[in-house]
């Protein structure tokens, strides 16, 4: 059993994966969750998490297929003894707060585990549906595996932690707004019932996602930023409700250096992903002039800024 379950970032493929297209995931190890028994100093966290887990346990018990896969008696007993999931993963920010919970429950209470990642993704989707109404299962899969991977209809390709090259820098830009996954996903699913939307999305948007992923993995910087511009246009065309008003300028402005953004998770708040080959210019653009980045810290200064930025 793992000591902790890391949050996740979907670099590419949030909505295109609904069409079984390629997606690219990485763990975000600055946020994580781990099992604990209650202590006086974190009583609020205990109560919130313990009650949430009890509701989740009830959901599993009422699902005939899922209930047979877990030792729910042990889960109930542990929850009655005060077990909870201590987590610093921001809720409603697209970083996998529910994914860590699903991964943790599976890891601790599954009667028999599987190494078939696509089968596991399907199971995780059923489990996480308790929180979102519908789930691809990819978030809990990332939280469970804890390492980067590329997923296609054919399977999961695990990647090394250093597959991201240093000439493409990635940051999380905080919209300072909560994101609600369920209505956004339901809106998108309603849109795809329109044949014209569906055909254009598959013909125009999905290929740009695949191109970004392939260019990033192959370290083709020129092709990557070219593909990112195309993807950016596609998000404005097909996923406009998922883009917050306070980040719209980032999506619609043409820059004189390689910089582009995209939604993270379902969008509608949480973090926006930024990509660049010039950290100094990007920090200046986002209000952090004069600050360089070590790719691990929170870029801030003493002056008020529109966004908080985390460099990956």
Kindly state whether residue 164 falls inside one of the protein's structural domains: no
Furthest-apart CA pair in the chain: how many Å? Answer: 60
Tokens at residue 145, please?
């595996």
Kindly state whether residue 163 falls inside one of the protein's structural domains: no
Same domain, 137 and 176: no
Same domain, 88 and 20: yes
Q: Which candidate, 260, 268, 187, places its Cα nearest to that of 225?
A: 260
Structural domain of 36 = 5-158
- Structurally, the chain folds into a number of domains equal to 2
Q: With a cut of 80, say whether residue 221 has pLDDT above it.
A: yes
- Please state, for a pLDDT cut of 70, what percent of the chain lies above it: 93
Same domain, 214 and 278: yes
Q: What is the pLDDT of residue 101?
A: 97
Query: Rounded to two decimals, what is the model's pTM?
Result: 0.88
User: For the chain, how many residues are written?
Assistant: 312
Same domain, 201 and 137: no
Q: With a cut of 50, say whether residue 295 has pLDDT above it.
A: no
Same domain, 128 and 203: no
Same domain, 38 and 114: yes
Question: Phi first, then psi: what are they for 122, rounded to 5°?
Answer: -65, -45
Same domain, 27 and 68: yes
Q: What is the pLDDT of residue 51?
A: 94
Same domain, 13 and 153: yes
Kindly state whether residue 231 falls inside one of the protein's structural domains: yes
Kindly state whether residue 86 falls inside one of the protein's structural domains: yes
Q: What is the pLDDT of residue 80?
A: 94
Last residue of a domain, one of 158, 191, 218: 158
Same domain, 143 and 241: no
**Residues 133, 190 contacting (CB under 8 angstroms):** no
Read off the CATH number of the domain in which 118 is found. 3.30.230.10
Kindly state whether residue 193 falls inside one of the protein's structural domains: yes
Mean per-residue pLDDT, 255-281 = 93
Read off the CATH number of the domain in which 302 is found. 3.30.70.890
Q: With a cut of 80, say whether residue 154 has pLDDT above it.
A: yes
How many C-beta neighbours within 10 Å does residue 116 have?
12
Q: Which candidate, 14, 73, 6, places its Cα nearest to that of 239?
A: 14
241-255 confidence digits (pLDDT tens): 999 999 999 999 999
Kindly state whether residue 78 falls inside one of the protein's structural domains: yes
5-16 confidence digits (pLDDT tens): 999 999 999 888
Mean per-residue pLDDT, 277-282 = 92
Same domain, 199 and 299: yes
Q: What is the pLDDT of residue 293?
A: 45
* Band of residue 182 on the pLDDT scale cut at 50, 70, 90: confident
Q: With a cut of 60, say whether residue 294 has pLDDT above it.
A: no
**Residues 232, 260 contacting (CB under 8 angstroms):** yes
Last residue of a domain, one of 158, 179, 203: 158
Same domain, 135 and 268: no
Same domain, 110 and 198: no
Burial class (CB in 10 A: 0-12, 13-18, 19+), 163: middle
* Band of residue 292 on the pLDDT scale cut at 50, 70, 90: very low
């Amino acid at each position: 059993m793992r000591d902790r379950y890391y949050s996740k970032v979907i670099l590419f493929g949030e909505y295109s994966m609904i069409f079984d297209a390629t997606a690219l995931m990485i763990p975000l190890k600055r946020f994580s969750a781990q099992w604990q028994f209650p202590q006086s100093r974190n009583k609020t966290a205990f109560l919130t998490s313990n009650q949430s887990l009890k509701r989740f346990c009830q959901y599993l018990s009422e699902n005939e297929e899922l209930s047979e896969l877990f030792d729910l008696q042990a889960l109930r007993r542990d929850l009655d003894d005060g077990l909870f999931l201590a987590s610093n993963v921001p809720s409603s920010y697209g970083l996998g707060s529910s994914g860590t919970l699903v991964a943790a429950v599976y890891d601790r209470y599954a009667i028999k585990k599987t190494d078939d990642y696509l089968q596991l993704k399907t199971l995780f989707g059923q489990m996480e549906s308790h929180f979102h109404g519908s789930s691809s299962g990819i978030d809990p899969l990332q939280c469970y595996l804890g390492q980067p991977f590329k997923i296609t209809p054919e399977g999961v390709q695990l990647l090394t932690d250093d597959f991201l090259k240093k000439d493409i820098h990635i940051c999380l830009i905080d919209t300072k707004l909560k994101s609600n996954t369920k209505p956004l996903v339901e809106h998108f699913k309603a849109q795809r019932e329109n044949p014209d939307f569906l055909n254009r999305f598959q013909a125009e948007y999905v290929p740009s996602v695949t191109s970004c992923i392939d260019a990033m993995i192959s370290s083709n910087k020129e092709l990557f930023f070219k593909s990112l511009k195309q993807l950016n246009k596609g998000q404005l065309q097909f996923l406009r409700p998922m883009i917050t008003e306070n980040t719209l300028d980032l999506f619609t402005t043409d820059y004189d250096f390689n910089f582009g953004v995209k939604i993270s998770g379902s969008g509608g708040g949480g973090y926006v992903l930024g990509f660049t080959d010039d950290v100094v210019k990007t920090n200046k653009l986002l209000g952090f002039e004069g600050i360089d980045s070590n790719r691990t810290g929170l870029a801030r200064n003493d002056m008020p800024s529109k966004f908080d930025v985390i460099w990956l």
